[in-house]
Amino acid sequence: MARVIAVTNQKGGVGKTTTCVNLAASLAATKRRVLLVDMDPQGNATMGSGVDKNSLQLSGYDLLTKRATAAEVIVHVESAGFDLLGTNGDLTAAEVELMNEIGREHRLRLALNTVRDNYDYILIDCPPSLNLLTVNALSASDSVLIPMQCEYYALEGLAALMNTVEQIKETVNPNLQVEGILRTMYDPRNSLTLDVSGQLNEYFGDKVYRAVIPRNVRLAEAPSYGLPALKYDRASKGAIAYLALAGEMVRRHGATRKAAAAAV
């Protein structure tokens, strides 16, 4: 059964969607079965995967409003190497339609449960705000991956996000955990970057991934071609960094499964 991971940060511009698309492609490159779920009405993850959000026959809107099943909405993106549950601006209307629905915060979880056995990983790209779509994503997930820049204001945003995770655990998903913290747009020549990185390691320990994502032109260019960096320029520093992240994630989960099996 798939591990469901919400990729989220309430602060925008931290590389959230870039991480979703490139981590999905990198996990797929390790022969894992991957589904990328776009829960951001901007549809950037959909476009970055090579799918035109404006030409979608079915989208996340249809899924959340029960007009279609997950299997009907999901498409395989050959050029990226993974499956996609795409979305567009229609998703904003789903929030309004679900406002008075009982169990509205569990719509995504119930829909994804029907396809979890088909995948090893399901990654959910969340909006950069705390709304019903984000709550749905966190309700559906086993864990949260937090991309963040190593800067002062990012630490403040991280504190707010950790409070959100605790609130979700107390209300709709008691099993939600922090998957890991990913340092993005990393520049080791910057003293503030090193200071913040040190603080993250001090407070979060092994929750901070060893892999870091550098500032990289190829990473920035790839979405305009509808490709993950791995498919756009496999030798780029950005592509290599996300492959390292995928490898680290797979090893962590393998170690966790072995520990759980030994405890039985």
Q: Sketch out the chain's domains with CATH numbers.
A: 3-263 (3.40.50.300)
In the predicted structure, residue 263 carries a pLDDT above the cut 80? no
Helices 132-140/152-171 angle, 10° precision: 70
- Tens of pLDDT, residues 91-120: 999 989 998 899 999 999 999 999 999 999
In the structure encoding, which two tokens stand for residue 187, read together? Answer: 């520049």
User: How many CB atoms are closer than 10 A to CB 34?
Assistant: 24
Res 254: pLDDT: 80
Report the residue count for the chain.
264
- Tens of pLDDT, residues 37-81: 999 999 999 999 999 999 999 999 999 999 999 999 999 999 999
Query: Among all chains, which residue has been given the structure tokens 């779920």?
Result: 37
Find how far residue 54's CA is from the centre of its chain: 22
Q: Name every residue whose Cβ is closer than 8 Å to that of residue 233 and which is 6 or more positions away in sequence.
A: 218, 222, 239
DSSP, res 126: P
**What's the CA gap between 88 and 257, in Å, rounded?**
36
Tell me how many helices (H) and strands (E) the chain has: 12, 8
pLDDT band with cut points at 50, 70 and 90 for residue 12: confident
- Tens of pLDDT, residues 153-201: 777 778 888 999 999 999 999 999 999 999 998 988 888 888 889 989 9
Comparing 6-10, 35-39, 187-191, 214-218, the range with the smallest average pLDDT is 187-191
In the structure encoding, which two tokens stand for residue 249, read together? Answer: 């994630």
